Amino acid sequence: GVYEKVSIPLFYGWFLFQDKIKCTAMDFLKTLDSLDAFKKHLADFPVETEKEVDLEQYFHSSWSLHCTTKFCAYGKAQGAKEYAEKTAVQESYGSVWELSLTALFVTPRTVGARVSLNEAQLALWPADADKEAEAAVPGAGALPPGSRAHISLGCAEKVEPVQTGLDLLDILVLQQAGQQGELVEEMELGSLVYFDKGRWLLTLREPVSVKTCFSSVYK
C-alpha cells in the first residue's frame, strides 16, 4: 500500500502539548545555582568564573519538548524498520498519552526530566534502547527497560540532546550500584541529591503528569 512507501522518520516519540515542565525546570535551575551547596561544587562545571554560573543561560534548547522512543535516522539506525512496523507503534500513532515525570536531573552537559513509563507505554519502548547505551554508559544494559526514557530540557554549548538520556542512565547506574548520593536539601518540589562530577538529581515529591501525542519527526 501507499504507506509502505512513506520513509522512516528521524525519530518517534511522545510530544508534549505544553511546555510547563520547562518552566518548572527553569525555576529549579534558578534555585539550584543560588544554593551554597551548588556553588561549593561549581568547579564541576566548565565555567570561567569561580563564584557563580547562571544555569538558565548555561543550557539552551531549540526543540519542541518530547520523549524519544526510537531514534531511527530515517531507517539507518539499527532496528528502525522493525520498530516502524511494530503493531503497537502503528496502532498508537497519533494517539494521546499521559506521561509521568518523576525526577529532574542536571549535569555539566544536560538538564532533563526522567519519565517513568507504565506497562502500556513500555510496549512502545524499543527492546534494546537501554542496552545500546552500554558502550557509552557501562552498566546501563542491566537496568530495567525504559530506564533511559526522558525529556531533554536543555544542553550546554556543543552538547547534543542524545547526551541527556546517557546522563540519566549514568545516574541510574550509580543508584543501582547502591550509591545514594549526598542529600543536599528537601525542596518544595522534592529532595535534591548530589552525586560527584556535577550530577544533581531532584526526585519529585509528586510526579508531574504531562499530556503527549505519540508521533514522529521527519525533518
Footprint of ligand 2AM on this chain (CB under 6 A)? Answer: 10-11, 68, 71, 152, 161-162, 164-165
Which residues make Cβ contacts (< 8 Å) with residue 37, sequence separation at least 6? Answer: 184, 185, 194
For residues 165 and 190, which CB has a smaller minimum distance to ligand 2AM in the complex? 165
Q: How far is the CB of 76 from ligand 2AM (least distance, A)?
A: 11
- Output the nine-digit C-alpha cell for 95: 494517539
198: nearest Cα among 60, 23, 21, 32: 32
Please tell me the distance from the alpha carbon of residue 215 to that of residue 95, in angstroms, as a whole number.
8
Residue 80 or 184 with smaller CB distance to ligand 2AM: 80
41 is catalytic: no
What are the cell numbers at 203?
526526585
Let me know if 66 is a catalytic residue: yes
Neighbours of 98 (CB within 10 A): 11
Q: Distance (Å, rounded) from C-alpha 108 to C-alpha 198?
A: 6
- Cβ distance to ligand 2AM smaller for residue 34 or 138: 138
CA dist., res. 97 & res. 84, Å (int): 18
3-state secondary structure of 177: coil
| 63 vs 19: CA distance, rounded Å | 11
- Residue 198 cell numbers, joined: 556535577
Taking the complex as a whole, the smallest distance from the CB of residue 70 to ligand 2AM amounts, in Å, to 8
CB of 114 to ligand 2AM, least distance (A): 12
Q: Of 92 and 152, which has the nearer Cβ to ligand 2AM?
A: 152
Sign of the dihedral defined by the CA atoms of residues 2, 63, 149, 21, in that order: negative
**Catalytic residue (choose from 53, 65, 66, 133):** 66
Per the residue annotation, which of 117, 150, 153, 184 is the catalytic one? 150
Q: How many CB atoms lie within 10 A of CB 95?
A: 11
CB of 164 to ligand 2AM, least distance (A): 4
Task: Indicate the residue among 149 and 174 with the shorter CB distance to ligand 2AM.
Answer: 149
CB of 90 to ligand 2AM, least distance (A): 20
Query: Catalytic residue positions?
Result: 66, 150
